[in-house]
Structure 1
C-alpha cells in the first residue's frame, strides 16, 4: 500500500481520558479515531477533507489508563470524491509485548476545495488479497449505508 494510504499514531492514555468505570472514555477513543483517520484521508487526498460518515464503531475491550495506545488508519476504498478509511485501535500495558485490538470502525471523508465543494481524489487500487477483501468490505458497508439512509430519510424531513 502507498505510504500515504496508511498512518499510525501511538501515545499513552492519560488520567484525563478516564470514564466513571476507571477505563478510557469512549469519547476519547472516538476523538483519536477521528484525528488519525482525518490525517490518513488528508494525506491521501492532498486537500482538506470533511467527515461524512462514521459507522459501525465497535468497542471490543476497554483500554486501561496508562496503556500504550496505537491507532492505525488505512485507505480501503475510494469513490470519485470520497475516501473510506478503516481504523483499528490497539492498546497494551508497557509490560506486554504485543498490542491487542480494542476498537474498529470505518470513516468516510470527502475531499473538498476552499469553497467546500467536493473534488476528485486519486483512485485507491488494491494490490493484494487482503486489500481486495478490504475493498469488498467497504463496498458492502456502502450498500448498507445507502439502505440505512433510505430508512432514516423520513426522520430528516421537516
Structure 2
C-alpha cells in the first residue's frame, strides 16, 4: 500500500512577468493551475493510475508572490475513498536568499482515479509509516473542511 510520504511533492517556480496580474504579483489563475497540477501528480503517484480533478475546496489568497519571487507548492495525499483521493495543497512564497517561507494559499482537493474508458476505478488505502507522515496527516485532518 502506498505511504503518505511517497506522495509528498514540492515544486518551485520563479514568478515571471507573463504569469503576473496588473499588480505585478502571481496571477491567481496560475497559482490554481500549479496547485491542480501538483495535486494530480500526487494522486497519480499514489494510485498508479490516471487521475482527474473532481473537487477543489475554497482557496483563500493570503498574501501575494511578486514577479521575480519564488512560489513553492507542496502537496500530499491525506485520505482516500473508494475511487477518490484527498490532497492537501499549500502554496508559499520563498525568500531565495534565506529559504524562509510564508503561506500564501491553500486548498483541499479531491481527485478520482479513472481507467482507459474514463470510468472511476478503486484506489488503495493510504498508509502512514513515519513520524513526519503522521504530522502531515494530523495537520491535514485538523484543518480539512
TM (norm. structure 2) is 0.87
> Residue in 2 aligned with 1:36?
38
Match of 1:134, SS state, is helix
What is the total number of aligned residue pairs between the two structures? 139
Q: Which moved more, 1:121-130 or 1:74-83?
A: 121-130
Residue by residue over 1:40-87, the C-alpha shift from the partner in whole angstroms, topping out at 9 and shown as x without a partner, is: 111111000111101121211111111112110111110111000010
How far residue 24 of structure 1 moved from its aligned partner, in angstroms, is 0.9
Higher relative contact order (CA 8 A, sep 6+): 2
Distance in 2 (alpha carbons) for counterparts of 1:117 and 1:102: 35
- Residue aligning to 1:49: 51
Higher helix share: 1
Give the whole-Å Cα distance in 2 for the aligned partners of 1:18 and 1:11.
13
Q: Deviating runs (4+, > 6 A) in structure 1? A: none
Equivalent residue for 2:80? 78
Unmatched tracts of structure 2, length 5 or more:
none
Q: Which residue of 2 aligns with 1:63?
A: 65
What is the match of residue 134 of structure 1? 140
CA RMSD of aligned residues (A): 1.8
* SS of alignment partner, residue 56 of structure 1: coil
CA distance in 1, matches of 2:9, 2:121: 22
Q: Distance in 1 between matches of 2:67 and 2:42?
A: 26
Larger Rg belongs to: 1
Query: Residue 24 of structure 1 corresponds to which residue in structure 2?
Result: 26
